[in-house]
A and B are shown apart, each in its own frame.
Chain A
């Protein structure tokens, strides 16, 4: 397949207009030693029908959530996606434009981003939100970087109960930019971040304290106390939220968080093997000029009609270059659009229903396991929303595989990132799971 719409005649006319014989002449400026080897040894070409068959076959080697009943979590969840979300994000008018630099011909994307910023502000109770970052992990890294810039301090404290992959991403950034990181332990019994230990290692060199709510173990944290402790020493509180939980949990803006970040995948995005997903980023107005990423603002045109354009661009790499607040250019606009449509489709009542259903079903699973299964135990005693840690009596790895064979996906297992929890794994329950699914998993875990 090629996608070149020129006929032989067109090509001949163009070459004639340029007074050359062959298009290869344009490439003669490239040193011949480079041209000699330049044809890549790659397979293809395939016709469209061959390609589709090949991709079907390869896809068939994967066990997707079409085949597995999903109780897996850890940041990516199996949630119901309303048809209207898929429909809107499939429109070529949203799929195929570039970043909306030319506002007059991009009002669709711009207004959708303005509405997205609004729902993110509402969900988090923060004052401003940007138009998306890559994912929850990179949003956290950007938040830590922002904290260091505004406080002029270079030590970040991260809860050990924060997503390990997000902490790894933060570490990659911090090592580069000279920010030292410290870890706040979690409490053995409850799974909550140990705020007493936090107090002990907090000092006025700390730029930020970052906690996840609910945390990676699914446990609800005391965010207000963490915020108070951070603010006492002039540090910012970063809250990494799971967005669906905010249908019931207190939002970051109501407990004093300075920056709220999060993985936006649960808001209408397919799991997609972890990408593309969506980096949520919101903060207080006083930090607005230090925000990373695109921001859309409302304005008027020459006739006074309301319209939208990119604004606060003086923060960005294409204007400020080495002085920019971030290097981000391409973001996850289409994923942000999906999140905006998803939250509009649910509305406040739908969101509340999803959150509550997930809570009820997760607690039902917990109760059923406690009653019926001797092989598994709930690891932490703290209050949880829709995800919790199980300790299992058989090797985690073989358990996961045997569950897969029985049609259940749970996890992730925790041993790689938490050696002390190498007999533990996460289990998450969303509104998608039925009583029958849950009882099936309980039976599988009890056998």
Chain B
């Protein structure tokens, strides 16, 4: 059956939520507001009943793969299990029903959670101070680059206009650099997939404001020369930024601050198991070394005696990056997660994540190309290049065929340096049985590519909707429901 939209079900006389009659005197809006500011006709919102809404979204829910239901090995996304207790905690009225403009004496519990989480993140990252204000990873990147700019400006070094970013970096890195008024330059990686020290050295100059790195990088490889990299960047007066997307690989084993990074962001929705929500909300707190602390966003949470308060008086602050204090309810979830694991639990999470990734990589190294031999950290990147050459089956076909096996595809075609890339991040919350099932499916698909490539070209076959015509979507741009199109 073709699924309907809420608008197709809409009809006069159907309603869900009603509000009580007014218990105060009523007058017409036109008596209280200028007539020319009033709406002529109501918005065409759907007129539907509660049972219809419930069933509509129950049906849509069935069309969503999700990490509660199955394996979700999206590389760089850390799709780990989202503990149920987080949802219970975040729904407590003492957090959920807090108005952001409540006097600080009346929100001491909230300020304590923010203050403590900032301390813990700084400690996990080997940094000195943190801010929870950035609402997502990309916002965290922008926040830190913006702080870098303020830092350089404060030292009279306004000429620094370039940011160096490896060719394996997440797209947000160069995009954040541009957003901050910088020019992003790509650094070609070495043959082993890591930073090429020679390349870095020749790109570094007095005009470089910062270098942005992910460690381990997006190939799942630890940047073993990181200490030399930090020295090189600092020797020309540049700053070193850590994209913390891959923190799940190294907790308890290495801290970006100790590696020489000046600032970093965390993705609470990756490393600290808060849910992804089908695209958000996440949270992207930042942590920095002391020399950058005065540039952090306002307001800061401060401890005064045995009380907590807001501090707005930070003359060097870059200002605000979110209308309020960031995604507080996501921070509450991450706080609960960190507290339930403790330092030993975080370390064991990283260990299991790395073990799982290596187990998968090793098992698939024959059926697929392995452009950068391991060991890997928490994720591995395979390539379908040989399969593509021999059979015409591409990474996207393999990814779509996995859906027929009841599994979510890995990240495809990223990093950009690997042709026909399939980037796999199992995370620590998957059992050996699940990994074996994935390995078997991937191996089977590799052989299907040779026997019956068309089966893969036309996959998936098991979903209500087959492969979508993205070209048509981009050409016709139907971006909203319309009557009788």
Contacts and interface: CB of A to CB of B under 8 A. Distances in A.
Nearest to A322: B174
A274 B111 CA distance: 13
Contacts of A288: 477, 479
B278 A106 contact: yes
Interface in B442-485: 458, 460, 463-470, 472-474, 476-481
Contact of B323 (A66, A136, A247, A411): A136
B37 A360 contact: no
Contacts of A173: 179
B280 A103 contact: no
Interface string B355-399: 110110011000000000001010000000000000000000001
B135 A276 contact: yes
A91 B61 contact: yes
Contact of A61 (B108, B178, B251, B267): B108
Given A1-B83, A38-B253, A327-B142, A272 B106 contact: no
Contacts of B44: 122, 348
A371 B174 CA distance: 59
Interface stretch (A202-210, A227-235, A334-342, A373-381): A334-342
Given A275-B328, A385-B33, A43 B342 contact: yes
Interface string A406-425: 00010110001000000000
Contacts of B339: 43-46, 51, 54
Nearest to A86: B91
Given A14-B355, A82-B17, A84-B54, A59 B92 contact: yes
Contacts of B138: 317, 327-330
Contacts of A250: 36-40
Interface in A23-53: 23-27, 29-31, 33-35, 37-48, 51-52
Interface string B307-330: 000001000001111111111111
Contacts of A328: 136, 138-139
A34 B261 CA distance: 12
Interface stretch (B195-203, B233-241, B344-352): B344-352
A301 B321 contact: no
B27 interface: yes
B226 to A, nearest CB: 8
Contacts of B340: 1, 44-48, 51
A233 to B, nearest CB: 23
B278 A333 contact: yes
Contacts of B343: 39-42, 44
Q: Which of A129, A299, A416 has the most CB of B within 10 A?
A: A299
Nearest to A351: B45
A301 B47 contact: no
Contact of A115 (B328, B329, B481): B481
A42 B23 CA distance: 53
A203 to B, nearest CB: 23
Q: Which of A11, A64, A327, A385 has the most CB of B within 10 A?
A: A327
A272 B98 contact: yes
Contact of B324 (A65, A76, A129, A359): A76
Contacts of B109: 57-62
Interface string B46-83: 11101001100110111111111100101001011111
A199 interface: no
B68 A96 contact: yes
B190 interface: no
Nearest to B470: A309
Q: Which of A57, A103, A111, A322 has the most CB of B within 10 A?
A: A322
A169 interface: yes
Interface residues of B, number: 203
A347 B429 CA distance: 41
Contact of A123 (B16, B43, B324): B43
B441 interface: no
Contacts of A319: 171
Interface in B120-142: 120, 123-124, 126, 135-139, 141-142
Nearest to A289: B477
Contact of B94 (A60, A109, A134): A60
A98 B363 contact: no
A143 to B, nearest CB: 14
B98 A177 contact: no
A193 interface: no
Nearest to A294: B279
Given A4-B352, A305-B465, A412-B101, A172 B255 contact: no
A330 B279 contact: yes
Contacts of A55: 89, 92, 332, 336
A298 B259 CA distance: 47
A431 B88 CA distance: 28
Given A43-B342, A168-B320, A17 B280 contact: no
B101 A299 contact: no
A30 B378 CA distance: 14
Contact of B79 (A98, A134, A138, A359): A98
B93 interface: yes
Contact of B53 (A84, A98, A101, A275): A84
Interface string A240-281: 000000111111001000000001000000111111110000
Contact of A106 (B33, B65, B83, B432): B65
B329 A272 contact: yes
A107 interface: yes
A76 B101 contact: yes
A363 B408 CA distance: 54
A13 B37 contact: no
B102 A72 contact: yes
Given A108-B62, A169-B321, A177-B181, A271 B355 contact: no
10 contacts: A18-B355, A33-B227, A97-B276, A121-B480, A135-B322, A275-B322, A323-B178, A337-B278, A361-B22, A383-B34
Given A331-B136, A350-B19, 16 more contacts: A6-B431, A11-B355, A45-B345, A58-B94, A61-B94, A62-B106, A76-B101, A98-B67, A105-B65, A114-B5, A177-B179, A249-B39, A270-B329, A305-B464, A327-B176, A332-B281
